[in-house]
Chains A and B, each alone.
Chain A
Amino acid sequence: AQKVTQAQTEISVVEKEDVTLDCVYETRDTTYYLFWYKQPPSGELVFLIRRNSFDEQNEISGRYSWNFQKSTSSFNFTITASQVVDSAVYFCALPETSGSRLTFGEGTQLTVNP
């Protein structure tokens, strides 16, 4: 069975600080994808990034960057120069190889204070 663990339940930072959200996953699949979603108070899950397991190159997209390390089964997500609008719950998710179900972590509540 697949499993996603987000050990950080809540994080609080001051605006303009950098913040890293941790994600550790378990899967028996040799190739797989990983996702990060943001859930604002409105409830909708907003797609942020997707990474496949056969490309460990870490990338930056605007204020977002991610660190994927297959050797430690970690897929961490960093927001640079955080803003109040970044306040939300962030979920790491792992889809099954069949593409059916997404397994989510428990989420990390990020609060960015002005």
Chain B
Amino acid sequence: DAGVTQSPTHLIKTRGQQVTLRCSPKSGHDTVSWYQQALGQGPQFIFQYYEEEERQRGNFPDRFSGHQFPNYSSELNVNALLLGDSALYLCASSLTVGRIYGYTFGSGTRLTVV
């Protein structure tokens, strides 16, 4: 049973560019959440998608946007990249009520902005 798959694993971008990160949820999961984890810190919630709509959003600017497709996979887009966007981006999938059934995380995409 495949877990959460994220691509690419590593990415280097130049300040001001745009980036798209991808996530395929665990089989049977319908909800996808994205987290940003800066070096030495805990993951910070960016947003969550359910039924192809953004259900909740953390304290991140509009440069961060996302999408969920009918097959439940998801994309995270970041525009006008800043040096401070360098981080590990983690995708987590769950059934609707994640706190009861648990969350499965991918290995993340390491984004470096230079």
Residues of A near any B CB (own CB < 8 A): 4, 32-33, 35, 37, 42-47, 50, 91, 95-107
Contact = CB atoms under 8 A, between A and B. Distances in A.
A109 to B, nearest CB: 9
Given A100-B48, A102-B43, A47 B56 contact: no
B66 interface: no
Which 8 residue pairs across A and B have the least CB separation, nearest first?
A: A104-B42, A95-B99, A45-B105, A101-B45, A100-B56, A44-B107, A43-B108, A99-B97
Interface of B: 33, 35, 41-45, 48, 55-56, 58, 88, 90, 92, 94, 96-100, 102-108, 110
Contacts, number: 68
Contacts of B99: 32-33, 95-97, 99
A45 B103 CA distance: 10
A96 B33 CA distance: 13
Nearest to B99: A95
Given A44-B105, A47-B103, A104 B43 contact: yes
B100 A43 contact: no
Contact of A101 (B56, B96, B105, B107): B56
Given A43-B107, A47-B103, A95-B99, A101 B41 contact: no
